[in-house]
Structure 1
Amino acid sequence: MSSFFKHSIDPVSKLLAKQGASANGNDWKILNKLKCQPINKPILLYNRIHKTGSTSTAQLIKRSAAKLQYKVLVGSTMQWEIFGSKNHEAIKSEIQYAIKHRRPWQYPRLAYVAHFYYSTIYNLSYTYINMVRDPLDRYLSHYYYQRYGDRPKEKLKEMRNLGQFNESLQDCFQQQHQGCELNVMTRFFCGYDKYCALGNQRALRQAKRNILTNYAVIGLLEEWDLSSQLFRKILPNFFTQINEKISRYKVNKNRKNEPLSPGLIKSIKEANQADYKLYRFIKQLFWTRVTKCGLQNGME
């Protein structure tokens, strides 16, 4: 049981995080120091971001767990809806309870999958993973999901009562209603501090710092197959080859084809600049790691 405890950061990650504090100036140094080597932590945390292929990634984790014999705890979307910004406290309690009450011969490793902002869990040995996608695509997908996706009936009723269910994307964007929050990816990587919700330079710097310090791999939804290969390469104790077909991501059949003006698209992109800067940074990390792991052509 002791292997679950004493979270430590390797020297390379410490150096990368320190250099990453400037957010932009040292990116080339960071990329140059990236390595392709397995990370062996007993706890895997996946703080899944809305509409980034997280359902498919969760399926991959659960099917890998069945083959590699480790335990998976999955927090529901309803849990996120109920606890919101306090979700990390519920998650910490659930992880600690699972570790405390486990039988050592049952499982040597644990993966936790849920919607929650980055959080430090002291005295536990863990690493994070995540998935991201183009910020505009994620933004549009989240807007439509909140209104036409497979959500609890009471949440849809709540949106109707608030007058948000049938509102246009333009109105949702201007009013910052459900599904139209700005710089969501930056918030998930930054954490629970109030400034993380602002999408400013401080939030962006902290998000990068957390990525460099505690994230083993961040995949790209647009490169799903390559991302899954990278997961297997860096985290062989949590990911393995799955022959069964895993759906890439759900296409919402109820989605309306609302015409989008170039002006609205431009406004959404400008308002999500922190997410775009972070997305470009993550893409650099991803492709550098892919190259160093010898996966340039998608072949292991």
Structure 2
Amino acid sequence: MKMNETFDQCVLKERKACISEGRLSLMLKFFCGTHPKCSTDLKWSLNEAKKRVEEEYLIVGLLEDYESTLRLMEKLAPSLFKGIVTDYHSAERKKRSGRFHSNFKKPPSAEVRAILREKLDLTYQFYDFLKTKLELLKKEYDI
């Protein structure tokens, strides 16, 4: 991405930093692990990442559903996360996090979202898997 270039412009100009499945699948690689295929075979990585999430993670949260993620963490591991939701709503935390708020953030256009959905298919598949898993946990624990 170039200076003063919007994300939409970066995607529409097909810059690798914005549309390369290999560069933007870091989340997939993280959950896949250190096996050599995690860096070379994205389809294999997707399946391995899903398998590892199922077998090794109690919860994987999403920033877009942050409060529910915190509520689940508090419910599933109270000795570690007791009071985390209260802290999240505290005035002090809001004051600290307000420093990083962007007034100029513009969401990607529908055209760019469609391009990303196509080019980053495996990453979206993993995200959809995580979102579904989180929704099931929320339902199971009445959150």
TM-score by length of 2: 0.70
Cα displacement string for residues 194-248 of structure 1 (whole angstroms, at most 9, x for unaligned residues)? 5434572101011111111211111222322221111012112210114342448
Deviation at 1:272, TM superposition (A): 1.4
Measured in 2, the distance between the counterparts of 1:258 and 1:281 equals 23
Residue 11 of structure 1 corresponds to none
Deviation at 1:261, TM superposition (A): 5.9
Q: Describe how 1:1-300 pairs up with structure 2 within 5 A.
A: 164-169=2-7, 172-173=10-11, 174-177=14-17, 181-197=23-39, 200-242=42-84, 243-244=86-87, 245=90, 246-247=93-94, 250-255=100-105, 257=106, 260=109, 262=111, 264-293=112-141, 295=142, 298=143
Aligned to 1:216, what secondary structure does the other structure show?
A: coil
Deviation at 1:265, TM superposition (A): 2.4
The answer on whether the counterparts of 2:7 and 2:18 sit within 8 Å (CA) in structure 1 is no
The answer on whether the counterparts of 1:232 and 1:239 sit within 8 Å (CA) in structure 2 is yes
For 2:28, the aligned partner's letter is T
Distance 1:229 1:258, change over 3 A: closer
Measured in 1, the distance between the counterparts of 2:44 and 2:33 equals 12
CA RMSD of aligned residues (A): 3.1
Distance 1:209 1:168, change over 3 A: same
Measured in 1, the distance between the counterparts of 2:108 and 2:77 equals 42
Aligned to 1:237, what secondary structure does the other structure show?
A: helix
Which structure is larger by alpha-carbon Rg, 1 or 2?
1
When the two structures are aligned, how many residues end up with a matched partner?
131
Gaps of 5+ in 1: 1-142, 144-163
Residue 115 of structure 1 corresponds to none
Q: Going by fraction, where is helix more abundant, 1 or 2?
A: 2
Deviation at 1:178, TM superposition (A): 7.3
Identity %: 22
For 1:200, the aligned partner's letter is L
Q: Going by fraction, where is strand more abundant, 1 or 2?
A: 1
